[in-house]
Amino acid sequence: MAKATAKRAKSTENTPFYVPMSDEIELFEAAFHAKLPVLLKGPTGCGKTRFVEYMAWHLSRPLITVACNEDLSASDLVGRYLITNEQTVWQDGPLTQGVRQGAITYLDEIVEARNDTVVLIHPLTDHRRILPIDKLGEQIQASDGFLLVMSYNPGYQSVRKELKPSTRQRFVSLEFNFPTQEKEAQIVAHESDISFDVARKLVYLGGKIRNLAGQGLEDELSTRLLIYAGQLMKADIPPLSACEAALIHPLTDDRDLQRSLLEVAKNYFG
């Protein structure tokens, strides 16, 4: 069953914290008003999900998030009949809910979903904006506020898992990358509630670690991990232990590489 979460309403109290990198807010807003589906490309943990949360708040739309996986079936997205009290009741899936409510519907890591599931969204992405539901014999017209958003990590190397060009071509693409060091430090400081100076050291260290992406490290170091490291430090874990636990061991099992990264960490926190 797909995990769906719905959040609503624009309240000033819990404004999602988001630092814009460039003109992504304006682009997203324009796409929303022009009813164009959006694809967010970028490495793991660089803030794609946070951005969608922020935009939903900014545009005052509910947000429905679906984390995609291999077993995600069409029924999981569209809906199914359930039995209650000797009766059968149709239960909308998250996508149908989004289409009806006019929500921003976010399919996270879409490449993980099966191809037949991905094809299901095609009629929603062009000018028709419809969702056919075979079991109900209905075609639902998407409400005005509905916007389909998907995320995709192009760094994913498997030759057997790639987003089909026919799907990609249906979306406006926003490319995400890691923020500049000043901005990233601002984010890390805010999210983990540590001083800006310590956050900046973490970010500098992160920059050095990212130098090794593709040269030993398989994946890029995410901003998320930097925040974890900050949070551990906030909880009085010694800085080097925090770096090992949050930055180094999650990235590699190679002992030499672990040692090299620890040595770089020592340059800042030794």
Partner 1 sequence: MFNEDVAYQRLWRRIVNRYAFTRNIQYTNAIEKLYKKQPELTYQALKSFSEERERLEPLQVQAYFSQLLQLQQKRVGGVDPEYLLQILLGLELDHAWRWFYFGLHQNKQQLQRYFSSEDEQSQALFEGLKKGVSAFDVERVLRYYADALTGPGQPLKFHPKDSTAPLDHDYLHLPDRVMAYPDGEALVDQDEDLHFWLYKWLITHEQGHRQAGTYFYEAEDEETGRQALIEYLQSFTDPFMAEALFHLFEDVRVEAHLLRQYPGFEAGRAQLMQLEFAFRPEPESPRERFLEALLQQLHWGKSHIRPEKPWQAGFEKLLKESEGLLEKTSSVSDTIRITGLAYAQLETLFSEPRLREPLSLTLLPYELPLLLDPPPASPSSSDQMRHLWNEPAEDDNPEEDTHEDSTEGDISFKQAFKYDEWDYREQSYRTNWCALHEQPPGEVTAVSTLNAPQVAQIRRAFEWMAEEDWTRQKRQLEGDEIDLDAWVEGMTDLRAGQPLPEKLYTQQLRKKRDLCATILLDQSDSTARLTPTGEPVIGVEREALRYLCEALEALRDEYAIYTYSGDGRGQVDCFPLKTFEEHYGLTVQYRLQALQPLSQNRDGCAIRHITKRMEMQPARTKLLLHITDGKPWDHGYTQKYALEDTKKAIQEARAQGIKVFGVICDPYAPAYVKSTYGPGRSVILKDINGLSDLLLGLYRKITW
Kindly state the helix (H) or strand (E) to which residue 84 belongs, with its residue range. strand 79-84
The total of other beta-carbon atoms located within 10 Å of residue 141's CB is: 12
In whole angstroms, how close is the CB of 138 to partner 1 at the nearest point? Answer: 13
In whole angstroms, how close is the CB of 154 to partner 1 at the nearest point? Answer: 7
The answer to whether 248 contacts partner 1 (rule: CB under 8 A) is no
How far are the Cα atoms of 178, 187, 210 from residue 21, in angstroms, in the given order? 9, 11, 18
Amino acid, single-letter form, for residue 14? N
Size of the site for partner 1 (CB under 8 A): 41
Structure tokens at 14: 């819990």
Spatial contact of 172 and 179, defined as CB atoms under 8 Å apart: no
Q: Convert residues 36-65 into a mask of x (bound to partner 1 by CB under 8 A) and - (unbound).
A: ------------------------------
The answer to whether 152 contacts partner 1 (rule: CB under 8 A) is no
Collapsed DSSP state (helix, strand, coil) of residue 93: coil
The answer to whether 256 contacts partner 1 (rule: CB under 8 A) is yes
Q: Convert residues 205-244 into a mask of x (bound to partner 1 by CB under 8 A) and - (unbound).
A: ---xx-xx-xxx-x--------------------------
Kindly state the helix (H) or strand (E) to which residue 217 belongs, with its residue range. none
How far are the Cα atoms of 135, 147, 162 from residue 66, in angstroms, in the given order? 21, 14, 19
The answer to whether 146 contacts partner 1 (rule: CB under 8 A) is no
Structure tokens at 123: 């009629």
Q: Which is nearer to partner 1, 118 or 265 (CB)?
A: 265
Q: Which is nearer to partner 1, 80 or 190 (CB)?
A: 80
Q: Convert residues 72-111 into a mask of x (bound to partner 1 by CB under 8 A) and - (unbound).
A: -x-x----xxxx---xx-x---------------------
Spatial contact of 28 and 174, defined as CB atoms under 8 Å apart: yes
Which residues of the chain form contacts with partner 1 (CB under 8 A)?
71, 73, 75, 80-83, 87-88, 90, 135, 154-161, 204, 208-209, 211-212, 214-216, 218, 256-257, 259-261, 263-270
